[in-house]
Amino acid sequence: MRRLLPWLILLVAAGCASPGGPRDAGVDRAKLAKVNTELGMQYLQRGDYETAMTKIEKALAADADFVDAHNAMGLLHAALGEDDEAERSFERALAIAPRNSAALNNYGQFLCRQGRHDAGQAQFLKAVDNPLYRLPAVAYSNAGTCAFDAGDLDTAEGHFRKALEIDPRLGPALLQMADLSYRLERYLPARGYLQRYLEVARHTPRSLWLGIRIERELEDRDAVASYSLQLERGFPDAPETRLLLESRAP
């Protein structure tokens, strides 16, 4: 995000110099709503929820129909564990702009985290249906993750394949397909998806632990040793490292 303080100073100066007509006031309100929403999101990302709330409330006071502010408020309430308030904020955003892709994706993730997987997937697919949406592969991947978490592997696979048809180098979808293929005992495809994932992303504890389990099934001891060494050295405190150590126990 760009530095916002100079912008705020310019807004104040413009307010003093302008005739103060309705049109100018409307422009100022829109800008103030945008600035405060961006500031609120910055504070939210830092974990300063109190200041984030103050900024987003100022944004809504400036423009009660600013979609991004309602979307940000939904994220803030979700971070605070205030699920009812979060849902109302997301629904308000979508009542104002039913095809807003950011709100659809955030609401979908919120619903999936609550275990409302069908409803969550529906939000992601609404985002895909918007021809102006620039990241349909991400929405399909999110829908796949939601179905995967629900244990619906067939539906998840369909979503991931659509995501990868659009963007064959989408890291999250590649890793999910590697995991899904492993669970379906398709070990060679699982290895292939993991290798493709590593062409576009770095290893994580999850990807290393998955690689270990895949290569154990394929009986490649050298690959198992390599993945294990990377996991133990790079992520000694990760839960996946504990699982690795437990799996070696007699």
Neighbours of 63 (CB within 10 A): 19
In tens, the pLDDT along 131-166 reads 888 999 999 999 999 999 999 999 999 999 999 999
On whether the pTM is more than 0.85, the answer is no
Per-residue pLDDT, 3: 38
For 65, which DSSP code? T
DSSP H helical ranges for the chain: 5-17, 22-46, 49-62, 67-79, 83-96, 101-113, 117-129, 136-149, 153-166, 171-183, 187-198, 205-217, 221-234, 239-248
> How much is the mean pLDDT over the chain?
90
Q: Which CATH number fits domain 1-6+27-97: 3.40.1350.10, 1.25.40.10, 2.40.110.10, 1.20.1740.10?
A: 1.25.40.10
Cβ 124 vs Cβ 105: under 8 Å? yes
pLDDT of residue 25: 53
Q: What is the pLDDT of residues 164-178, one digit of tens each?
A: 999 999 999 999 999
* Measured CA distances, 71 to 3, 98, 124, 137, 198 (Å): 21, 12, 15, 21, 33
Instruction: Give the count of beta carbons closer than 10 Å to the beta carbon of residue 84.
Output: 8
pLDDT of residue 249: 77
Model pLDDT, residue 131: 87
Q: What is the pLDDT of residue 7?
A: 31
Tokens at residue 3, please? 């530095």
Tens-place pLDDT, residues 20-40: 444 455 568 999 999 999 999
**Is the model's pLDDT at 114 over the cut of 60?**
yes
Token pair in block for residue 149: 């978490």
What pLDDT does 23 receive? 47
- Superfamily (CATH H level) for 99-189: Tetratricopeptide repeat domain (1.25.40.10)
Q: Where in the chain is the domain with CATH 1.25.40.10?
A: 1-6+27-97, 99-189
Cβ neighbours of 95 (radius 10 Å): 12
The model's confidence at residue 12, banded by pLDDT at 50, 70 and 90, is: very low
Q: In this predicted model, which residue has the larger pLDDT, 185 or 8?
A: 185
14 or 156, which is more confident: 156
